[in-house]
A and B are shown apart, each in its own frame.
Chain A
Amino acid sequence: MNLTVNGESHEHAGTIAALLSELGANPEYTAITVNGDLVFSKDWNNFKFSDGDSVEVLTFVGGG
């Protein structure tokens, strides 16, 4: 199915963990929103993407 991940089109049919692995993101340092809603890490295993979902993959950067 087609997702929008951080603003870019991305074919993906698996779990959140698999998506992070594809992106090379460390799950420990990553937060996820789907269509604007936070998906808690405890719910990642049971989460199913739907076609057209807009996914944001976020992490900490330096900031004041």
Chain B
Amino acid sequence: MKSEVRNQKSEVGTQKLILGGVEFTSRLILGTGKFSDTQTMIQAIEASGTELVTVALRRFNRDKPDDDLCAPLAKLKNVKLMPNTSGAMNAKEAVRAAQLGRELSGSPFVKVEIHPNPHHLMPDAIETYLAAKELAADGFIVLPYIPADPVLAKKLEDVGCAAVMPLGAAIGSGGGLSTAEMIKLIIRDSNIPVIVDAGLRAPSEAARAMEMGCDACLVNSAIAAANDPSGMARAFALGVKTGFAARQAGLMPKSEVAVASSPLTSFLS
């Protein structure tokens, strides 16, 4: 049923990603952490063609003013900010972080992420649900970072989230699409965009996620930690575009046995 709805959309040419009523041409979202310096980050954002980037909220450090991050980001006119709630240990702290992020950015987007265990950084499903519900009711465009759990994803859709962002693998691990089968189940039932967030290492994994039916990919470490972040940003943009184009074109059905591409009869007879 879902795949029919999706195909219909693409047939009428609705190729833009829509999050909370806001249209995006790019289906690649970038995280801004871990870059060696601000200039490298800005260059990677520009190379990626992204229109949405995440930022984190932290105490102002008078010894190391962070104007060098805010001011250059503010200059990127086609790029919207999505503050995250990283550092929040529960729903209450995440809601507060989201409100601060909205005050500071003027942006209605929020990436709800609550991962109390620093060892694996796995999202807390219960607290994430509670925070997402409250923030969606408060008018935020809520994109929760979640375990690849189709039941949770559906409940987040029901409380008004603009998308769900299941993890491919642990944050920063480069583990790839280890949750692919669960993400397929999420996609199958979801009426809101599904965005793979965390774990991607290679552009081919982003392409695979899009071929599977994901609507976008959120990438940070794979780009920031590459030898050439701008080059990798460009490569991920191509990977996402390739995978999305392939899904729209429709992959051929799989067969258990060989199906000849050349005629097998009338050979030299």
A and B, one complex? yes
Q: Is the interface of A mostly helix, strand, loop or mixed?
A: mixed
Query: What total count of A-B pairs have CB within 8 Å?
Result: 105
The answer to whether B34 and A60 touch across the interface, beta carbons within 8 angstroms, is no
Segment at the A interface, from B7-15, B51-59, B241-249:
B51-59
Select from chain B the residue with minimum beta-carbon distance to A40. B103
Interface hub of A31, A56, A63 (most chain B Cβ within 10 A): A63
The answer to whether A63 and B31 touch across the interface, beta carbons within 8 angstroms, is yes
Q: Chain B, 52-92, contact with A by CB distance < 8 Å: what is the 0/1 string?
A: 00111111101001110111010000000101101000000
Sorted nearest first, the 8 A-B pairs with minimum C-beta distance are A63-B56, A64-B31, A64-B220, A29-B70, A62-B32, A60-B55, A57-B60, A31-B104
Q: Is B96 an interface residue (CB 8 A)?
A: yes
Interface positions of A (Cβ within 8 A of B): 6-7, 23-26, 28-31, 33, 36, 38, 40-41, 56-64
Residues of chain B lying within 8 A (CB to CB) of residue A62:
31-35, 41, 55-56, 69
Known: A57-B59, A59-B104. A64 touches B67 (CB 8 A): no
Q: Is B204 an interface residue (CB 8 A)?
A: no
The answer to whether B86 and A6 touch across the interface, beta carbons within 8 angstroms, is no
Question: Cα distance A41–B60 when bound, in Å?
Answer: 16
Residues of chain A lying within 8 A (CB to CB) of residue B221:
64
Known: A23-B60, A57-B60. A63 touches B67 (CB 8 A): no
Known: A23-B60, A30-B104, A38-B99. A60 touches B33 (CB 8 A): no
The answer to whether A60 and B62 touch across the interface, beta carbons within 8 angstroms, is no
Select from chain A the residue with minimum beta-carbon distance to B171. A64
Select from chain B the residue with minimum beta-carbon distance to A20. B60
